[in-house]
Structure 1
Amino acid sequence: MDTYDVLVIGGGPGGYVAAIRAAQLGFSTACVDAFTRDGKPSLGGTCLNVGCIPSKAMLDSSEKFEMIAHEAADHGILVDGAKIDLSRMLGRKAGVVDKLTGGVAYLFKKNKIKSYHGYGKLLRREEGGWVVDAAGTEVKAKNVIVATGSNPRALPLAPFGGNIVENSGALEFTEVPRKLGVIGAGVIGVELGSVWRRLGAQVTVLEALPGFLMAADPAVSKEALKQFQKQGLEFHFSVNITAVEDTGSGVRVTYTEKDQSVTAEFDKLIVSIGRVPNTQGLGAQDVGLELDERGFVKIDDHYRTNLEGVYAIGDVVGGAMLAHKAEDEGVAAAEIIAGQAGHVNYGVIPWVIYTSPEIAWAGLTEQAAKDQGLNVRTGQFPFSANGRAMGHNDTRGFVKVVADAATDKVLGVHMVGPNVSEMIAEAVTLMEFGGSAEDLGRTVHAHPTLSEAVKEAAMGVGKQAIHI
């Protein structure tokens, strides 16, 4: 029986990063992962194969088409008859995925990580570690890291199949739907809705909650909603879905809105109402691995489960279901196993929505800070006053900085606008080290850059903004 210091169950962002870090720390390491794409084993999990990476590839392609077809003339570039080749667009997306998943396989080889393709199941604890069924082969590991991720949550009225799809199916349409329905106005729903709206679909988003992106700062969500509605996305809030029928040629959805019953017909329906922990085939009940009432693996502050030598990270433990959160937890868990002080600062994890305009935030909203009893000051700067944004012909949105009124410590930064997915990293770095708004405002930023909006917003906390 092969024996390892660390066995990781799951090869997504949390799992493969945990395996690589464990190997770097000198542990003999293996990873068992069941993900298959196009009938072949493919490391990288949902994120690389059917989630974060392919969706961003499609977002970029559709945004380029939107720019060429509808915005190039503003730059003095005249393009007549721009059209899409969807099969080629999907092929480019697949190529990006192939490169990245192949890169993970290369990193496993480089770091001498043994890879098993299939499910990993905890069998029993013996002297020296855990016996695990690794894709049909029994192996032993001193430490096991569970990183099995999550699966799309299905709507009971609308099981996936046919014309009703989740995120992966929404990235594989072979033709642009004429009418596209989206249930769920969260990150996935808005991103995928944006892709197909740009490519020509009429998109309707149905959301059960009374508002849009209610986890974001209200000023950001209000601005984002306004921009998406201007683009043609149709939103309905406080909706209760009462019936869903796949008719074969499309999908019929019946819902109530403001006490009125409405029936809508769509060619395709994307259901994006969240994700559920994936413990399929793990053997949790057989070995007594504790799960909470929602099915997430229970852990302590050091990623330890109730079973000695078994750790868990990523989506399967709950919290923010973000690939970068899982990655950092993977590093931390491996370092804790090595006796080091692995740590993740959950207070400054960035959230990003890759729409146009992009949305990004980290830390507390203004209201959340006030709810904690803090007195705050804020600064806000619009991209309409930023020279680089004018040059880009994209002046939508703003940057908002929330700081403690007593200490000037930055508590949160919230952005909606061009390229804010990249700009949020500066704010995260500052908050990681407990920086102040003045620190940020007095840091020299290159001119002209979009990031000057961050500097100006920070200066605005002390009412010292220059360009507004």
Structure 2
Amino acid sequence: MQYDVIVIGSGPGGYVAAIRCAQLGLKTACIEKYSTFGGTCLNVGCIPSKALLDSSEHYYNAAHTFKTHGINLENLQVDFAQMVNRKNEVVAQTTGGITFLFKKNKIDSYQGVGSFKNKNTVVVKKTDGSEETLTTKNVIIATGSKPSSLPFIKIDKQRIITSTEALNLPELPKHLVIIGGGVIGLELGSVYARLGVKVSVVEFMDAIIPTMDRSLSKELQKILQKLGVEFYLGHKVTGATSDGNEVTVTFDSPKGEKMELKGDYCMVGVGRVAYTDGLGLENIGITVEERGKKITVDEHLETTVKGVYAIGDVIRGAMLAHKAEDEGTFVAEIIAGQKPHINYNLIPGVVYTWPEVASVGYTEEQLKEKGVKYKSGSFPFKASGRARASMDTDGFVKVLADAATDEILGMHMIGPRAADMIAEGVVAMEYRASAEDVSRMSHAHPTYTEAIREACLAATENRAIHI
């Protein structure tokens, strides 16, 4: 079969690339090794984790805030099996939606492992051992990533697990030890902490979510500690072993003291690594970077082989589903002869704890490092009428603006619905708005987004109204 474009991988980058190619009139195929579309995000990442996050938040509120709202409950219990079942139903509905979209856009799909015979020929090896050969003018590699580990820790998927297994535990743990204080570890850690599980986080760096603005890190740590999560920051893990029922995690303190934690499960959440195994890249002369197995691409996301592109987690940059989506659209339009653009500085980052954490643009630490003169304005949610009404008063919005021009350089927030609210910052920064521009826009009252306006007022000659 001859195609204009073959996409290898059906995660957020791959399926979006395939759909956009089809919209642009290109004959398109997508190859997926698993039985369902959607990649990590839809199957064992973004979507299932958010389903559990929402379920655990409902339970936590029922147990801790409903009485204040005037709602009295008796014999409140967690049906963890049903919680997991609901999560699985959400996943099935979402992945099934991709099947529908492929049919709607007349995209041919193949189940199996796709590999290069040459740059215009892709062989699909199916689960039954048979092979099918496809020819194409262009290929988009969108094979994503897999959970990373530490070389001295063996993942047994029973007691020493990754985020994938943490989404399908057969029981609620008594004590969950998490190695890594990044987004993945904190999101799943917060799920279990809200359900009454003891959660301990061991992190090598001296702060959680270390790539985000440090003020967000400090605030999130305080909030999670109120949930009962304990942190060991600046500690170096040296091992994790299991006897079948109990896990022992050993680590060194910043002073070199030998320490250990015992729990019934240990989740290794030290990030993800690009997945390029089995692609046959060597057959077309593509070499991956030694560290991280990432594929080198140019400004058009084209590899060193003409007509072969790569997007998402297999290339440079943050491993985010929405980054992959943007790149999928970008490459499809490049192939079609258009001239799209992506501003990587304006791709937001989000942590889906509760309250949520969201960030776009430069952090204060980055601006200081660059020597950029800036001003800062912030507004706490405890001063927000909407937040008081919903009992979501933790957190704040912080806006960083150029000291001379007032252009917004960064927006950072931790609070209710921050994942949705950050879009206002993205729009403002895409159009190079000043803090005063946003402060003069009407914001409905009472809403959480009023905090953004107030933070912009605070950055503009300290003019915040409600603090």
Counterpart residue number, 2:6:
7
Aligned match of 1:223: 219
Per the TM alignment, residue 287 of structure 1 is displaced from its structure 2 partner at its CA by 1.9
Query: What amino acid maps onto 1:233 in structure 2?
Result: V
Distance in structure 2 (CA, Å) of the matches to 1:243 and 1:371: 35
User: Which one of 54, 59, 62 corresponds to residue 65 of structure 1?
Assistant: 59
1:122 and 2:116 equivalent?
A: yes
361-370 vs 394-403, greater mean Cα deviation: 361-370
Deviation at 1:318, TM superposition (A): 2.6
SS of the residue 1:413 aligns to: strand
The residue matched to 1:75 in structure 2 has which SS? coil
Determine if contact 2:50/2:352 at 8 Å carries over to the other structure: yes
Q: Which moved more, 1:212-221 or 1:446-455?
A: 212-221
Contact 1:360 1:421 in 2 (8 A): yes
What amino acid does structure 1 have at the position aligned with 2:318? Answer: A
Mapped pair 1:242 → 2:242: no
In the alignment, the residues of structure 2 paired with residue 315 and residue 308 of structure 1 have an alpha-carbon distance, to the nearest angstrom, of 20
Q: How far is 1:243 from its partner?
A: 2.2
> 1:419-465 CA distances to partner (integer Å, 9 max, x unpaired)?
11110001001101111101110000000001000000001111111
Equivalent runs, 1:92-131 vs 2, <5 Å: 92-125=86-119, 130-131=120-121
Instruction: Provide the residue aligned with 2:76 in structure 1.
Output: 82
CA distance in 2, matches of 1:240, 1:386: 40
- Per the alignment, residue 260 of structure 2 pairs with 263
Asked if residue 151 in structure 1 is aligned to residue 133 in structure 2, the reply is no
SS in 2 for 1:151: strand
- Residue number in structure 2 paired with 1:287: 284
Contact 1:33 1:119 in 2 (8 A): yes
Q: Rate the CA distance shift 1:59–1:290 in 2: closer, same or farther, 3 A.
A: same
Instruction: Give the aligned partner of residue 275 of structure 1.
Output: 272
Report how many aligned residue pairs link the two structures: 458
Alpha carbons 1:277, 1:318 under 8 Å: kept:
no
Deviations 1:370-427 (A, max 9, x none): 3222110111000011000000011101000000011110000000111111100010
Query: Which runs of structure 2 are paired with 1:198-213 in the superposition (5 Å)?
Result: 198-213=194-209
- C-alpha separation in 1, matches of 2:223 and 2:359: 17
| Contact residue 183 and residue 351 of structure 2 kept, 8 A | yes
- How far apart are the structure 2 equivalents of 1:173 and 1:215? 29
DSSP-derived class of the 1:190 partner:
helix
Q: What residue is the counterpart of 1:132 in the other structure? A: 122
Q: Supply the distance in 2 between the matched residues of 1:250 and 1:342 (Cα, whole angstroms).
A: 52
Question: Displacement of 1:266 after TM fit?
Answer: 0.9
8 Å Cα contact 2:5-2:21 kept in structure 1? yes
Query: Aligned ranges for residues 32-431 of structure 1 at < 5 Å?
Result: 32-35=31-34, 41-125=35-119, 130-135=120-125, 136-161=131-156, 162-257=158-253, 258-294=255-291, 295-431=293-429
Is the CA contact 2:207–2:218 (under 8 Å) kept in the aligned structure 1? no
Superposed CA deviations along residues 211-245 of structure 1, whole A, max 9, x for unmatched, are 22222212111111111111100000111222211
Q: CA deviation at 1:293?
A: 2.4
Q: How far apart are the structure 2 equivalents of 1:342 and 1:99?
A: 31
Question: Identity over the aligned pairs, expressed in percent?
Answer: 50
CA offsets 1:19-38 (integer angstroms, 9 cap, x no match): 00000000000000112xxx
Alpha-carbon distance between aligned partners in 2 of 1:252 and 1:61, rounded to the nearest angstrom: 29
What SS is found at the alignment partner of 2:118? strand
> Normalised by the size of structure 2, how large is the TM-score?
0.97
Q: Are the equivalent residues in 1 in contact too, given 2:174–2:264 (CA < 8 A)?
A: yes
Does the residue aligned with 2:412 lie in a helix, a strand or coil?
strand
2:37 aligns to what SS in structure 1? coil
Structure 2, gaps ≥5 residues long:
126-130
Matched, 1:455 2:450: no
Q: Structure 1: any 5+ residue segments left out of the alignment?
A: 36-40
Letter in 2 for 1:346: Y
For 2:79 and 2:166, the matched residues in 1 are separated by: 17
Matched AA of 2:139: V
SS at match of 1:453: helix
Q: In the aligned structure 2, how far is the partner of 1:172 from the partner of 1:300?
A: 39
TM-score (norm 1): 0.97
* Residue identity in the other structure for 1:282: L
Distance, in Å, in 2 between the alignment partners of 1:416 and 1:226 is: 12
- Distance in 2, matches of 1:341 and 1:373, equals 33
Which digits, 9 at most, give the CA deviation of each residue in 1:146-205, with x for residues without a partner? 000011102222222221111110010111000110000000000000111111210000
